[in-house]
Amino acid sequence: MNQDSGSVPDQTPKAASRLVRRRRWVMGAAAAATVLSVAGLYGASFVQSPAQAAADTQAPKPSVITAPVVRQVMKSTVVLRGTFSDGQTVSATPTQVAATKPGTQSAALVVTGVFAQPGQRVKAAQPLLEYAERPVFALPGNVPMYRDLVVGEEGKDVAQLQQALETLGYSTGSDTTGHFGAGTASAVTRMYKHMGYAVPVSADTPGKAADTATPGGTGGPQQNKGLAAHATAPAVVVPASEVVYVPVFPARVATVPVRVGDVVKGPVITLARGDMTLTGHLDPSERGLISTGMTADIFSEATGVHTTGTVGSVGSLVTPGDKNAKDPSGTGDAASAGGAAYLPLTVKGNKPWDARFAGQDVRITLTAATTTEPVLAVPQAAIVARADAKTTVSVLEPSGKQRAVPVTTGVSADGLVQISPDHGSSLAPGDRVVVGT
C-alpha cells in the first residue's frame, strides 16, 4: 500500500538510529564547549599583564603612626627593689638565774613569760620576757652589758647604768659617777620594784656594801650611818643576764625565738639598736638620674603596706663577691640584687617605719619633678633633627597632610621630651605628631 506526500515521516529503525546519533552529537558538543569555557576562565586567572604584575609587586602605601601632644609636669621616674633590714642588733642570752636572797637555790633556765612580739616598739625598763620568773629588759646606753654589776664596782659601765637610772627618774643620790654606791643601789631597787620583781642580790656574804659603798669606805656621819644600815644586807646586783643596752628608745623588737616552756639555749630576744634601714639596689647606669633628697615611694606587694621617704645617700659600687663593699644593708655581696652589680641606695622614712615592713623586699619608685609647671611634650620618636641642626616635629592635619613645626627641646623623662614651638609656629595639646610609619 502506497503513502502520499502528506503521510508521517519514515519510522524505520534506521531513521531512529540516525536521530539518536544526531542528538548525542549536539549534547557532546555543548558539553565540550562548557568545559572549554570553564578552563579558559580558570587559565585566565593565572595570566597577568606586565602592568598588573608590576602593580601587584609594589609595596603597600605606608600608613602613618601618630601620638598626641600632651601638657604635663615632666617627671623622671626610676623603679628599683629594696630590702628592709634591722641593721645593728643586740640580743639577750640568759646564762644564770639571779638570786633574790642569800642562799637561794639555783633554778633552771626555762622561759616563764613572753611579753613582746617582733616589730613591737618597747620602752626602757619594760619587762620583755622572763625566764625562771626573772625579767629581761632594756636600758638606754651603748656599752654592752658584759658583767654583773654589784655594789662597790666601778667603771664606765657603772656610769652608763647611773645615767640610765637618772633618765628613768631614779636618782642615784650622792654616788660619784662610775661608782656603784648606796645611792645607785637604792635606784636599782626602786626600778625593779616598779617592774614588779624582787631586786637581785649577791650570793656572797653580806657586808661588801658597807665596805665599798664609797671610794675608800669613808664618808661623813650621815653617809656612814647609811652604810651601817646596809652592813648586814646582801649587796644589790644588776645581772648581765637580765639587761640589754639599746642606744635609742622606743626600741624595736627584731625577733623573739622562744615560747613559754622553752629551755634557754641561746638568745631569747633580739632588739634593733635603731630603726629599720631600707637599702635599694640601684642600677649603675641610672646613677645620673638620682640625687639625695629625691622623693621615694615605697610599696610592699606582700603586705600591701605603702609609705613615702627620701633618698638619703648613694654608696659605692657593689659587685658579686665583693665582701669589702660598704653596703648599708650589711650584705655587700650583691646577692640580694640577683648577682648583678649595684649601687646601695639608702632611703629615710618621713616617719618611723611601719613594723610590717620588717624583713620585706619592697618596690621603690624614685620621682624627681624636672619641670615646675606643665609643659608641652611629645614622644622621643616624634623629634626630627634636620641637617641644618634645626629640630622639628611633623603634625598630621585632619586633611592628611603633614606640617613641619620647628621646636626647641627641653628635659626628657619616661620616653617624653619637652618641646616649645619656635616663634610663629603653633602647636597645642591634642595635635597629632608623626612618630613612625
Reported as a single tens digit per residue, the pLDDT across 118-138 is 888 899 999 999 999 999 999
Domains within the chain, CATH numbers bracketed: 65-70+375-436 (2.40.420.20), 76-86+275-369 (2.40.30.170), 90-272 (no CATH)
Which triple of cell numbers denotes residue 433? 605628631
pTM of the model: 0.58
Strands 384-385 and 306-314: unpaired
Smallest CA-to-CA distance from 339 within 314, 363, 358, 320 is with: 320
Q: Cα–Cα distance between 216 and 212 in angstroms, integer?
A: 7
- Other CB atoms within 10 A of residue 352 CB: 12
> Alpha-carbon distance 78 to 413, whole Å?
10
The residue among 299, 275, 281 whose CA lies nearest residue 346 is: 281
Quote the CA–CA distance of 239 and 100 in Å, as a whole number: 11
Give the number of C-alpha atoms closer than 13 A to the C-alpha of residue 421, restricted to the C-beta side: 17
Nearest to 328 by CA among 340, 311, 305: 311
Torsion angles phi and psi, residue 112, rounded to 5:
-115, 0
Which pLDDT belongs to residue 209? 42
Q: Which long-range contacts (CB under 8 A, 24 or more apart) does 404-408 make?
A: 407/383
Which residues of the chain have a pLDDT value below 70? Answer: 1-20, 25-26, 28-62, 105, 204-233, 321-338
At 110 the pLDDT is 97
Are 99 and 375 in contact by the 8 Å Cβ rule? The answer is no
Q: Quote the Cα angle for 296-301-303, to 5°.
A: 105
pLDDT score of 244? 96
3-state SS string for the chain:
CCCCCCCCCCCCHHHHHHHHHHHHHHHHHHHHHHHHHHHHHHHHCCCCCHHHHHHHHCCCCCCCEEEECEEECCEEEEEEEEEEECCCEEEECCCCCCECCCCCCCCCCEEEEECCCCCCEECCCCCCEEECCEEEEEEECCCCCCCCEECCCECHHHHHHHHHHHHCCCCCCCCCCCECCHHHHHHHHHHHHHHCCCCCECCCCCCHHHHHCCHHHCCCHHHHHHHHHHCCCCCEEECCCCEEEECCCCEEEEECCCCCCCECCCCCEEEECCCCEEEEEECHHHHHHCCCCCEEEEECCCCCCEEEEEEEEECCCECCCCCCCCCCCCCCCCHHHCCCCEEEEEEEECCCCCHHHCCCEEEEEEEEECCCCCEEEEEHHHCEECCCCCEEEEEECCCCCEEEEEEEEEEEECCEEEEEECCCCCCCCCCEEEEEC
C-alpha closest to that of 199 among 127, 132, 135: 135
CB 326 within 8 A of CB 350: no
- Of 7, 8, 28, 25, the C-alpha closest to 17 is 25
For cell 613569760, what's the residue?
113
Q: What is the pLDDT of residue 23?
A: 72
Strands 75-85 and 277-282 come out as antiparallel
